[in-house]
Amino acid sequence: MKPLGKTYLIEIPEMKDEILEGGIIIPKERKADLVHYRGIIKEIGLGFNNDNIVNVGDKILFDWKQKTGKVKILLGQDMYYIVEEDLILAIEE
């Protein structure tokens, strides 16, 4: 799948329940409400030229709480987002 315009296709790694000290369990569904999403750039939209700051394979942090600028996609068992450039907050090094 190749996104159009100035957007990115981002794969979301599978989230797991988190167990805190003391045995408190944060279910993966609630954990998503507490943090920004981390993802991996899988494709870069056709609207970009070759001087991108973000490249295929980069691990990024993006703002999933925005109401606009993103689309959630389930392909088989894998979760993806197509997001606009402005929603990418950081690149993990």
Whether residue 44 lies inside any domain: the answer is yes
Q: How many domains does the chain have?
A: 1
Task: Write the CATH number for 70.
Answer: 2.30.33
Whether residue 43 lies inside any domain: the answer is yes
Span 51-85, pLDDT tens digits: 778 899 999 988 866 666 778 888 887 888 898 88
- With 0.75 as the threshold, say if the pTM is over it: no
Whether residue 61 lies inside any domain: the answer is yes
Give the CA distances from residue 89 to residues 21, 24, 38, 62, in Å, rounded to whole numbers and listed in that order.
Answer: 29, 29, 10, 5
Cβ atoms 50, 37 nearer than 8 A = no
Whether residue 73 lies inside any domain: the answer is yes
Whether residue 84 lies inside any domain: the answer is yes
The domain in which residue 36 lies consists of: 7-91
Whether residue 2 lies inside any domain: the answer is no
Whether residue 86 lies inside any domain: the answer is yes
